[in-house]
Structures are given as structure tokens and as C-alpha cells.
């Protein structure tokens, strides 16, 4: 044994040619995956020193004993490390570069055997070796830009020299994972083999290098020298890429562009100079609010996934499901279930509704074929997972039912009580409702413990969130099974308790309330949309209301007003929601009938494109008390404060269990700007004292919708935060009170 640590072991043996080969194995003690924590990186440095000091070695294989190779750096350390400042981060990265360079400079050929996921720092480890052989089931990539940083351990240096600047820019700026065939095509790996042949293939590559068939020294010169691009080629490659990537990433995500700049600055430099450029850029990005929030987002996502896993482990198997109510929503649910491998019955009382649901599912599968995600054969096979029916004939064998009929409590009650008599005693019933109380819908059920909410967001195939709503009598078994099914569908389930609007809609409608008050007082809704889109929302509130549908919004608003009359039945000239009500009464329902706050025309792809409409402007002017110019800061404050306060109330009322789940629900459910981290991280970044002061000023003018809770005031006074890591946020936060 050459070296033995808690994460890394190095042993040597003699191959068939008589050469002594070292094998460095990653196998992090007590963990299911390998990560590159600070401790593991220290061990790697020690292991490489031991290898370099061992005489008689003729080659090195780097491998993993886990199912994945290395999934990346230990992100749980990031906030603490980044708090130490720019100089520390530069020095830290340069020390890692020294270790990685020592691997690259070993006096014999080296190869990495990539058996599973090799991401971020894990992929950068593979780039240090002369050769890479990859299992056909493995994936590789550099996802750092999704965390607001860039590859800091040589990814911006070695990858462009390995696969060319254009391919490297696409990989690094996009931050996506790549399959083995794609990696082989661009030259990121040297061979792809079945997993069981991986070790033998790695040894074979070393043997061929020893025989002179593979010139590893020439590869090293290529990897450590300037890029082979002249000045004109560099300008064309990098400037074109910057324009394209800037358009894709948008103004709030600087990391992809910074990564291109790092590659560009280092294009004419040798290895060490390039690495210094990379380390400096990494450190600067690591100290930004965007990075801080995106890392926090990753951590929150891990909390949500861990909770989902805990529920799923307790769940009874869900092998056969059914959806009641076809049409667009039912078809979307059926598609999602079938595409992920869970057979589903799709029941309705009308043939034309069944056909509409099947048409929706076929359309979504066809798009997957067009994008080459599926073959036509696989599509046909997956479509057989959907069985349309007009009767309850096969419902005796169903494990879970999703009721997705019209959002009307009487109709839902009738359908649920009817289906309960057709299924087994252990079958779980769920309702895809966005507002109706689960406890209320359970009143006439014989087995209310087997019933919960399963709220999908539209469009089902795109929106990742599913709210699993626990009623007063819902059992843990029902929640567990529903969470397990949502996960099997590829969704992110978050368990919430029952209340009007549950979590997401309860939080969303105060945001719409803020919008209505602004419009009533004379703000131009088009300007509000532009300000909030610049703030980071995918669409402004007027545009979002058109997408939601004015009829849906008016119905949900009524539910919210009944449940929370003190703040959601807002006062004002026309009850605080005049513009939405006026649109509804004028039958301007939004995109569903091509007219709302905007009019809609089909673009070249057949998708609705919004255009200004004089009739809408006139309608809004009629319900406004006058015309008033608001600053961008005023608009943001009046939109965001109600949303954030309602999120706080949901946490205090135990509707949602943790800040992490609350923030992830808003990001996954309504498109809260990810780079801002969620409503509660947004408050933390501003500072609770500043947020409360802002809310109190607005309360004096606008009333209870803007009133902070007593507990929030107490937290602010005590200097508390929602996240324990909040104190490590960048000192020059961009979230200033308006």
C-alpha cells in the first residue's frame, strides 16, 4: 500500500508486461458518493506526494469505488469558505492547482477510469491525467456556472486545450451534463466501454502508451501550452460566444460570460498563468450575492430532496395510477406519469375529453421525438402506459388516483365520493386542486385518512413543483405514497398543511394584491411588468395574470379573501382587485381567449405573442383613481413586501416546515428569481430590521397587506435571520431597502 486515507487509497501491482502500476481509488468513508471536501483535497495532495516518491512506478490509474466517480466539490463548505475572502480563495485554488499539476507532471502515463458521474471538480480531476476512459453509462460536465461561479480547478484551462475553445465554452457556459457518446465525439474522453470492461480498458491504454502507440508526452505539451488560435480566430470565437451566451444567461447571471473571458485571457498563456487568471476570476464570482444565493438554493434543494427521500422510503409501492378528468391537465398528468414509467388510467365521462387528453399526451411525446430525446419506438411503448376509459372497470387495481376535474368543490366532492366506492381500501385518493380545502373535500369520504392534495402546476410537463397537501385527517401513509409518486414522475414534491391557497397560491395572491393597489393608484401595468421582469421574474404580474387566466384568478382571489379577510379582502376604490375583476367582467380572460391585459397573436411557432391593446388600457384607466408615476424601487417594494410577508406567515403558521422548503416552492412553483434565493433569503439579504422598517412605512399608507407579524418584528429586534448562514452573505448586498 502506497497511501491510505479516509477517502483515498493508493496501491500498486504489476501488469502483464511486468510494469508496476499505481491505482488511486476514491472511496469516501461513510458516504454514498465521493465529493472533494477540503479534507479530501488534502488527502489527494498527500497521496500524489506518496506516488511521486515511490520508485519503479510506470503508470497511474485513477478510479472510484462508488457508483459515481466524483460528483464535485463539497458544496456544503462553500458559504464558510467564501466568507474568508478573495485572497484566501485565490490561495486555496492555487494550492489545488499545485496538486493537480503534480498529477499532470508525473513521469509516467496516467489514465482516469470514469465509472459514473464526474462533475465539477470531479471532472477537473480527470482532466489532469493523460487519458480518460469512460463507462458508456457515465456522464461528465462542469456545472459551476449554475452556482454562480466558474470551474476553478483547471476546467477553464485544460478543457479548451482538450476539446477546442468553442466546445469548451458550450460545456462550461451551459453547465450541463454530457453522455459518453457526446464526450467521445468532441475528444473529452479517449474511449467509451461497457462498465464491466472499464478497468481493463484503462490498463490497456497504459500498455499502449508504454509501447509508444499513444504519445502521452505530446498530449501534455498540448494541454499546458497556449491555445492554437491566432488573434483573428480568437476574436471570432470569443466575441461571438460572449454575445450569444449573454443573450441566453441574461443580465443577472454573470458567471457564464466571466468563464468565457477567463478562457480568452488565458488563450495565449501557459498553464500556470492561465490558472492564476482562473483562480482570480473564481474568487471574485464567489463573493457575489448571485453566487451566495445560488449556493443557498442548491443547499435548499438538498433539504427538499432529503425530505422527499425520507417520505418515499416509508411509502407503499405505487405501480398503477389513474387520473380523473382528461382534457389538457389530465393529459399532461397522464403524459408525465407514462413518460416516467408508471402506467395510468385516464378516465372521463366524455369521448371528446378523452381524445383531448390523448392528443395532449401525444403532442408532448412527439416533441420529445422531434428533440431526439425519444425514438418513435420508445414513444409508442410509453404511450401504451396510458389507458383511456369511460368506466371504473379497472379501478380496483389502482394504487393512487389523481382527481383533476373542474375547480368546483361540489363537483370534486361528487367525483371523489364516487371513485372511493370503486377502489380498494388502501388506495390513495388525491385532488389536483389549487385552492379548495383538502379538509373540506374529505368531509364526505369514508376513508379521509387515505386522501390528500396533489397540486400540479401548469404546464405539468414543465413545472417541477408538486404541492402535497395534508388535510386534518390525512395519514402519513397517504402523504408518503403521494410524495413517492410525485418523485417517480420526476417532480419535486413539497409537503404543506391545509389552508386557503395552500403555500404557493397563498403567497402569490398578496403579490397580485400589491399589483392591484398599484394599478388602482394610477401605475401603468406595462411599466410594472417591465420593472418586475428587470428585477428577475420570468414575466411581470399583468402578463402572469393573463397566463393564469382571469377567471382562475378571480376565483382564487375570492377564496383568499374569504380565508384572510383582514389583508386579502383589500380596501380601496374597487376592493383592491378592480383591474382583475374588470378584465373578468369584460370577458378578457387572458391567453385562453387571446385578450386580457394584453392581446395575443400567434408567432411563427404557433405560440401566443403578447401585444398592446388599447381596449385593455382603456379598461384599466377606468378603474384607476388617477395617474401616478412610481419609482422602480417603489414598485419593487410594493410588489415584493406582501409576497415575502405571506411567506413568513406560512412559516409561522406551520403551513410549510422550513425556510428551505418555502423558498424552493416559490422558485419551482411561480418562478421566483433563483439568483435572489427565495423570499426568505431575500429578506435575510436586505436585513430583517430594514425589511420590517420598509413594511411598516408601507402599512401606514396601504394597510394590513403590508403589516409585518409580531414574530418578525421580534426576530428583527433580536438580529435573527431565517438562515443560519445568512451572516456570511456579501457585505455589499445589492438588496437595499427602497
Q: Convert the pLDDT of each residue in 578-597 to its tens digit.
A: 799 999 999 999 999 999 99
**Which residues neighbour 732 within 8 Å (Cβ) at sequence distance 6 or greater?**
none
pLDDT over 70, % of the chain: 97
Among 8-17, 59-68, 641-650, 671-680, the range scoring the smallest mean pLDDT is 8-17
pLDDT in tens, 30-39: 999 999 999 9
pLDDT band at 570 (very low <50, low <70, confident <90, very high): low
* C-alpha–C-alpha distance, residues 62 and 283, integer Å: 28
Among 14-23, 667-676, 696-705, the range scoring the smallest mean pLDDT is 14-23
DSSP secondary structure string for all residues of 480-532: HHHHHHHHHTT-EEEEEE-STTTTHHHHHHHHHHHHHHHHHTT--HHHHHHHH
The arithmetic mean of pLDDT across residues 306-330, rounded, is 94
Residue 602, C-alpha cell as written in the block? 400567434
Contact between residue 21 and residue 56 where contact means Cβ atoms under 8 Å apart: no
Question: What integer pLDDT is reported at residue 236 of this predicted model?
Answer: 83
pLDDT band at 229 (very low <50, low <70, confident <90, very high): confident
* Other CB atoms within 10 Å distance of the CB of residue 634: 16
Can 79 be counted among the known catalytic residues?
no
pLDDT at 576 exceeding the cut of 50: no
pLDDT at 737 exceeding the cut of 80: no
* C-alpha–C-alpha distance, residues 642 and 564, integer Å: 13
Question: What integer pLDDT is reported at residue 19 of this predicted model?
Answer: 81
The arithmetic mean of pLDDT across residues 555-567, rounded, is 91
Which 3 state secondary structure label does DSSP give 436? coil
20-26 and 8-14: which strand pairing? antiparallel
* C-alpha–C-alpha distance, residues 135 and 120, integer Å: 18
Question: What integer pLDDT is reported at residue 731 of this predicted model?
Answer: 32
Question: Residue 316: left (phi > 0), alpha (psi -120 to 50), or beta?
Answer: beta
Tell me the angle at which helices 541-548 and 504-520 cross, rounded to the nearest 10 degrees.
120
* C-alpha–C-alpha distance, residues 688 and 718, integer Å: 10
* C-alpha–C-alpha distance, residues 699 and 444, integer Å: 42
* C-alpha–C-alpha distance, residues 406 and 410, integer Å: 10
Contact between residue 318 and residue 483 where contact means Cβ atoms under 8 Å apart: no
Closest by CA to 190, choosing from 135, 142, 134, is 134
**Residue 315 burial by CB count (10 A; 0-12/13-18/19+): exposed, middle or buried?**
buried
Quote the distance between the C-alpha of residue 686 and its chain's center: 23
pLDDT at 83 exceeding the cut of 70: yes
Among 303-307, 577-581, 709-713, the range scoring the smallest mean pLDDT is 577-581
Closest by CA to 136, choosing from 113, 111, 110, is 113
Closest by CA to 146, choosing from 176, 168, 118, 170, is 176
Question: What integer pLDDT is reported at residue 82 of this predicted model?
Answer: 96
With vertex at residue 619, the alpha carbon angle to CA 615 and CA 620, rounded to the nearest 5 degrees, is 120
pLDDT over 90, % of the chain: 90
**Which residues neighbour 94 within 8 Å (Cβ) at sequence distance 6 or greater?**
275, 276, 279
SS3 percent helix, strand, coil of the chain, rounded to 5, is 55, 15, 30
Q: Can you name the residues that pair with 323 across neighbouring β-strands? A: 346, 402
Contact between residue 143 and residue 94 where contact means Cβ atoms under 8 Å apart: no
pLDDT at 91 exceeding the cut of 90: yes
Closest by CA to 75, choosing from 241, 269, 299, is 299
Locate all alpha helices (DSSP H) within 315-446, ordered by sequence: 327-339, 351-370, 376-383, 409-420, 438-441
- pTM of the full predicted structure? 0.91
Of the candidates 455, 461, 555, 735, the residue annotated as catalytic is: 455
Q: Please, which contacts does 10-19 make with residues 24 or more away whose CB atoms are closer than 8 Å? A: 10/47, 10/50, 10/51, 12/54, 12/57, 15/59, 15/203, 15/206, 15/207, 16/207, 17/207, 17/210, 19/58, 19/59, 19/206, 19/210
Compute the CA torsion angle 627, 632, 638, 642 (nearest 10 deg): 150
pLDDT in tens, 173-211: 999 999 999 999 999 999 999 999 999 999 999 999 999
88 sits in which H/E element: helix 86-104
pLDDT in tens, 106-130: 999 999 999 999 999 999 999 999 9
Closest by CA to 200, choosing from 138, 103, 133, is 133
Residue 561: cis peptide before it, omega within 30 degrees of 0: no
* Other CB atoms within 10 Å distance of the CB of residue 473: 17
Residue 254, C-alpha cell as written in the block? 454573470
Among 109-113, 310-314, 399-403, 565-569, the range scoring the smallest mean pLDDT is 565-569
**Which residues neighbour 397 within 8 Å (Cβ) at sequence distance 6 or greater?**
320, 424
Contact between residue 192 and residue 98 where contact means Cβ atoms under 8 Å apart: no
Contact between residue 544 and residue 597 where contact means Cβ atoms under 8 Å apart: no
Locate all alpha helices (DSSP H) within 371-496, ordered by sequence: 376-383, 409-420, 438-441, 476-488
Question: What integer pLDDT is reported at residue 724 of this predicted model?
Answer: 86
* C-alpha–C-alpha distance, residues 532 and 51, integer Å: 56
Contact between residue 126 and residue 140 where contact means Cβ atoms under 8 Å apart: yes
Closest by CA to 142, choosing from 483, 129, 157, 133, is 157
Torsions phi, psi for 705 (to 5 deg): -55, -25
Torsions phi, psi for 147 (to 5 deg): -100, 5
Closest by CA to 669, choosing from 678, 680, 657, 658, is 678
Closest by CA to 219, choosing from 151, 161, 269, is 161
492-497 and 344-347: which strand pairing? unpaired
pLDDT at 524 exceeding the cut of 60: yes
* C-alpha–C-alpha distance, residues 160 and 167, integer Å: 7
Q: What CA–CA distances, in Å, run from 542 to 252, 267, 339, 587, 634?
A: 22, 46, 33, 16, 17
Contact between residue 528 and residue 515 where contact means Cβ atoms under 8 Å apart: yes
**Which residues neighbour 148 within 8 Å (Cβ) at sequence distance 6 or greater?**
253, 254, 255, 285, 288, 290, 291, 292, 293, 294, 295, 675
* C-alpha–C-alpha distance, residues 706 and 703, integer Å: 6
Which 3 state secondary structure label does DSSP give 595? strand
Closest by CA to 353, choosing from 329, 322, 381, 380, is 329
Residue 619, C-alpha cell as written in the block? 379598461
User: For the chain, what is the largest distance between any 2 Cα atoms, rounded to a whole number of angstroms?
Assistant: 90
**Mean pLDDT score across all residues of the chain:** 93
* C-alpha–C-alpha distance, residues 59 and 108, integer Å: 5
Residue 57, C-alpha cell as written in the block? 512506478
* C-alpha–C-alpha distance, residues 2 and 13, integer Å: 11
Question: What integer pLDDT is reported at residue 14 of this predicted model?
Answer: 84
DSSP code of residue 425: T
Cell numbers 396510458 correspond to what residue? 386
DSSP code of residue 320: -
Q: Can you name the residues that pair with 12 across neighbouring β-strands? A: 22
The arithmetic mean of pLDDT across residues 695-707, rounded, is 95
* C-alpha–C-alpha distance, residues 326 and 311, integer Å: 29
Amino acid at each position: 500500500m502506497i497511501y491510505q486515507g479516509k477517502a483515498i487509497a493508493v496501491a500498486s501491482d504489476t501488469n502483464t508486461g511486468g510494469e508496476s502500476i499505481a491505482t488511486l481509488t476514491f472511496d469516501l468513508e461513510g458516504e454514498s458518493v465521493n465529493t472533494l471536501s477540503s479534507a479530501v483535497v488534502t488527502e489527494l495532495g498527500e497521496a500524489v506526494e506518496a506516488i511521486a516518491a515511490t520508485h519503479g512506478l510506470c503508470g497511474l490509474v485513477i478510479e472510484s469505488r462508488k457508483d459515481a466517480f466524483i460528483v464535485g466539490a463539497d458544496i456544503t463548505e462553500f458559504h464558510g469558505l467564501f466568507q474568508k475572502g478573495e485572497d484566501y480563495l485565490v490561495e486555496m485554488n492555487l494550492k489545488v492547482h499545485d496538486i493537480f499539476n503534480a498529477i499532470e507532471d508525473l513521469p509516467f502515463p496516467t489514465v482516469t477510469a470514469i465509472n459514473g458521474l464526474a462533475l465539477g471538480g470531479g471532472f477537473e480531476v480527470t482532466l489532469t491525467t493523460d487519458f480518460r476512459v469512460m463507462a458508456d453509462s457515465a456522464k461528465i460536465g462542469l456545472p459551476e456556472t449554475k452556482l454562480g461561479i466558474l470551474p476553478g480547478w483547471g476546467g477553464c484551462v485544460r478543457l479548451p486545450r482538450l476539446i477546442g475553445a468553442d466546445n469548451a465554452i458550450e460545456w462550461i457556459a451551459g453547465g450541463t451534463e454530457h453522455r459518453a457518446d457526446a464526450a467521445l465525439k468532441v475528444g473529452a474522453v479517449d474511449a467509451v466501454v461497457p462498465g464491466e470492461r472499464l478497468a481493463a480498458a484503462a490498463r490497456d491504454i497504459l500498455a499502449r502508451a508504454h509501447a509508444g502507440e499513444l504519445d502521452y508526452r505530446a498530449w501534455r505539451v498540448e494541454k499546458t501550452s497556449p491555445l492554437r488560435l491566432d488573434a483573428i480566430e480568437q476574436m471570432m470565437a470569443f466575441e461571438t460566444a460572449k454575445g450569444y451566451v449573454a443573450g441566453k444567461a441574461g443580465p443577472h447571471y454573470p458567471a457564464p460570460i466571466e468563464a468565457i473571458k477567463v478562457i480568452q485571457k488565458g488563450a495565449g498563456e501557459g498553464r500556470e498563468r492561465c490558472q492564476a487568471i482562473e483562480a482570480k476570476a473564481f474568487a471574485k464570482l464567489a463573493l457575489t450575492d448571485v453566487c451566495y444565493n445560488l449556493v443557498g438554493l442548491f443547499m435548499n434543494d438538498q433539504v427538499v430532496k432529503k425530505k422527499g427521500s425520507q417520505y418515499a422510503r416509508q411509502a407503499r409501492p405505487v405501480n398503477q395510477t389513474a387520473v380523473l378528468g382528461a382534457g389538457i391537465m389530465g393529459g399532461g398528468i397522464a403524459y408525465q406519469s407514462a413518460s416516467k414509467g408508471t402506467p395510468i388510467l385516464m378516465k372521463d365521462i366524455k369521448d371528446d375529453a378523452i381524445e383531448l387528453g390523448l392528443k395532449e399526451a401525444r403532442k408532448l411525446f412527439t416533441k420529445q421525438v422531434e428533440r431526439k430525446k425519444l425514438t418513435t419506438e420508445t414513444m409508442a411503448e410509453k404511450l401504451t402506459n396510458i389507458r383511456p376509459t369511460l368506466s371504473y372497470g379497472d379501478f380496483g387495481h389502482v394504487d393512487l388516483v389523481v382527481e383533476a376535474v373542474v375547480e368546483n368543490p361540489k363537483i370534486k366532492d361528487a367525483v371523489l365520493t364516487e371513485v372511493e366506492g370503486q377502489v380498494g381500501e388502501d388506495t390513495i385518493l388525491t385532488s389536483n386542486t389549487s385552492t379548495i380545502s383538502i379538509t373540506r373535500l374529505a368531509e364526505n369520504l369514508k376513508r379521509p385518512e387515505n386522501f390528500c392534495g396533489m397540486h400540479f402546476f401548469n404546464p405539468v410537463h414543465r413545472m417541477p413543483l408538486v404541492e402535497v397537501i395534508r388535510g386534518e385527517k390525512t395519514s402519513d401513509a397517504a402523504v408518503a405514497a403521494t410524495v413517492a409518486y410525485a418523485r417517480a414522475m420526476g417532480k419535486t414534491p413539497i409537503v404543506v398543511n391545509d389552508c386557503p391557497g395552500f403555500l404557493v397560491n397563498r403567497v402569490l395572491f398578496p403579490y397580485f394584491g400589491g399589483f392591484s393597489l398599484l394599478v388602482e393608484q394610477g401605475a401603468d401595468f406595462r411599466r410594472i411588468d417591465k420593472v418586475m421582469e428587470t428585477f428577475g421574474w420570468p414575466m411581470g404580474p399583468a402578463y402572469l395574470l393573463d397566463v393564469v387566466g382571469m377567471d382562475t384568478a378571480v376565483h382564487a382571489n375570492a377564496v383568499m379573501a374569504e380565508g384572510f379577510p383582514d389583508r386579502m379582502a383589500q380596501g380601496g376604490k374597487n376592493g383592491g382587485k378592480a383591474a382583475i375583476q374588470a378584465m373578468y367582467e369584460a370577458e378578457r380572460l387572458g391567453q385562453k381567449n387571446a385578450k386580457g391585459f394584453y392581446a395575443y397573436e400567434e408567432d411563427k411557432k404557433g405560440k401566443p405573442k403578447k401585444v398592446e391593446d388599447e381596449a385593455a388600457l382603456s379598461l384599466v384607466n377606468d378603474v384607476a383613481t388617477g395617474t401616478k408615476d412610481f419609482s422602480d424601487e417603489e414598485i419593487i417594494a410594493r410588489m415584493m413586501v406582501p409576497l415575502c410577508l405571506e411567506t413568513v406567515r406560512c412559516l409561522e403558521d406551520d403551513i410549510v416546515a422550513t425556510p428551505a422548503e418555502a423558498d424552493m416552492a416559490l422558485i419551482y412553483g411561480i418562478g421566483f428569481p433563483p439568483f435572489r434565493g427565495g423570499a426568505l433569503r431575500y429578506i435575510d439579504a436586505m436585513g430583517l430590521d430594514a425589511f420590517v422598517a420598509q413594511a411598516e412605512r408601507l402599512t401606514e399608507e396601504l394597510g394590513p397587506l403590508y403589516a409585518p407579524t409580531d414574530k418578525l418584528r421580534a426576530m428583527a429586534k433580536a438580529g435573527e435571520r431565517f438562515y443560519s448562514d445568512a451572516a456570511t452573505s456579501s457585505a455589499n448586498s445589492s438588496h437595499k431597502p427602497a
